[in-house]
Amino acid sequence: MMTGAQYKASLNDGRETYFEGERVPDVAAHPQLNASLDRIADCYDSFYDPAPGAVNAMMSIPRSGAELRDRIPLLHQADIVANTTYQSLMTVTTVAGRIGEQFPVYAERMRKWVAEMQAADTRITECITDAKGDRSLPPGKQTDPDAYTRVVERRDDGVVIRGAKLHITGASLSHELLTIPTKAMKPGEEDYAIACAVPVNAAGVKIVNTTYAPRHEDMRSFPISATHNFPEGFVIFDDVFVPNERIFLDGETKFAAVFAHSLGLWERLGGLAFLADEADELVGFAQLIAEANGLAKEGHIREKITEMIIHATLIRAALEAAIANCKIGEDGAAFPDELYTNAGKYHGAANYNLMCRHLHDIAGGSVLTAPGIADLENNEVGALVRKYMATGVGPAEDGEYRMRLFHAIRDLTADAYGGWKFVTNLQAGGGLYAQRIVTRKHYDMEAAKKKALKLAGLAPAEH
């Protein structure tokens, strides 16, 4: 296993990464990226075990419902790149079980790669969403054939790929890029049915970063995003060679969608787990700011908070059901139930905006306009700001307490990080439409029809 210091040193490997138009020569020294890197390093240290052969708990494969449940608090404790690493390993493990009978060579490569990543304590990000060009056209009919990542050359020892992958959180801070088809492929689209693992520092890999990190240095105004921001990578494969042992699918169009579906399962479980905790956080903030404003006993405030509580409870119930009804694969790995995972993720994401609306309605406009904490330290206006931000109710007798609540709510739900959260909750795991499709696929419609027929007196007589 690696320590945090070893992780930081490992990124000095010649990777080609960019930020705001400039190449970043040293990721660890970059002022906009180093906070994210520090969080990953701290996570490495928190899981570090010096014992020979030790495997990071975030990288081990769950073998039962209990072990699957045990991963949930670890997901919350870990940074987002550790989360994508876990999802990547579980995706590949899922795919290996689903296509192993048809393609034993691919399955063996995937299992070997998982073992290598575990042994090296590597960090992985998933590359799935392509540039896509004209989205009304399939890959093979695009004006630019590179709009979807594809194989441009096949050699005896591997392939050369070209394309771009979008929305890759933490790509510049990881070691490996798990690159898979973004959708199902049809005959004639063999070059686009490519799944493989690519080192971040491979020749031809270029990563262009953006960030929702705080916009100035006083982190007291950004109590959440100060430590929870991560760069988003636009990953370009500019004729990148991939050796055979790192190719997990090459041209078998019928099985391209297996990768996306498998990744979707684990991304949605992770999303559901975070939505469950986020819902509790939103309820907590709503109650705290209602109390600070002196409105906690108002009927319409209580009704809004009660609705938020019901939402939080249902999301948590879906997460518990997904784990309690888990399935065990042929290789012994545990997989969450697809129906509850997808239905729960859909419900949580579809209603996230409503929960934020309730919170903003309860809190009021100071979510956006409260003075900064630094203003309290100004000799001319500090005492006056504190006086007029106070309410005389409980802890809010001191104006700073209420100001800090406002800044936390803004940072979480109404600023750059809040915007990132809102879009990510909707899009992570394939978006709401994908979750509706999978939910319908796994719902027992025949059983529902039989119940309705029985209730209507139209069911066939039982013998």
Domain limits, the chain: 258-447
* H helix or E strand, kind and range, residue 201: none
Q: Where are the alpha helices (DSSP H) in 21-150?
A: 34-47, 65-77, 80-99, 104-120
pLDDT value, residue 33: 84
Report CA 306 to chain centroid distance, whole Å: 28
What pLDDT digit, counting tens, does each position of 332-364 carry? 889 999 999 999 999 999 999 999 999 999 999
Q: What are phi and psi of 424, to 5 degrees?
A: -65, -40
Q: How far apart are CA 267 and CA 88, in angstroms?
A: 9
Tell me how far apart the alpha carbons of residues 205 and 246 are, in angstroms, rounded to a whole number.
16
Q: Give the residue carrying structure tokens 């916009």.
A: 215
Mean pLDDT over each residue of the chain, to the nearest integer? 93
**Weakly modelled stretches of the chain, pLDDT under 70:** 463
Residues 363/289, Cβ–Cβ less than 8 Å:
yes
Q: Give the C-alpha separation, 239 to 254, whole Å.
A: 25
Q: Look at residue 463 in the predicted model and tell me its pLDDT.
A: 64
Residue 335's beta-bridge partner residues?
A: 327
User: Which distant-in-sequence residues (6+ apart) come within 8 Å of 314 by Cβ?
Assistant: 344, 347
Fold (CATH) for 258-447: Butyryl-CoA Dehydrogenase, subunit A; domain 3 (1.20.140)
Nearest to 9 by CA among 175, 171, 170: 175
Report DSSP letters for 20-35, one per residue: TTEE-S-GGG-TTTHH
Query: Rounded to 5 degrees, what are φ and ψ at 335?
Result: -125, 135
- 164 and 144 Cβ atoms separated by less than 8 Å: no
DSSP state of 461: P
Name the region of 272 (left: φ>0; alpha: ψ -120 to 50; beta: rest).
alpha
Question: What is the model's pLDDT at position 119?
Answer: 95
pTM of the model: 0.87
Residues 6+ apart with CB under 8 A from 55: 1, 118, 119
- CA–CA distance, 363 with 395 (Å, rounded to integer): 16
The answer to whether 195 and 111 are in contact (CB under 8 A) is no
pLDDT in tens, 191-237: 999 999 999 999 999 999 988 887 777 788 888 888 888 888 999 99
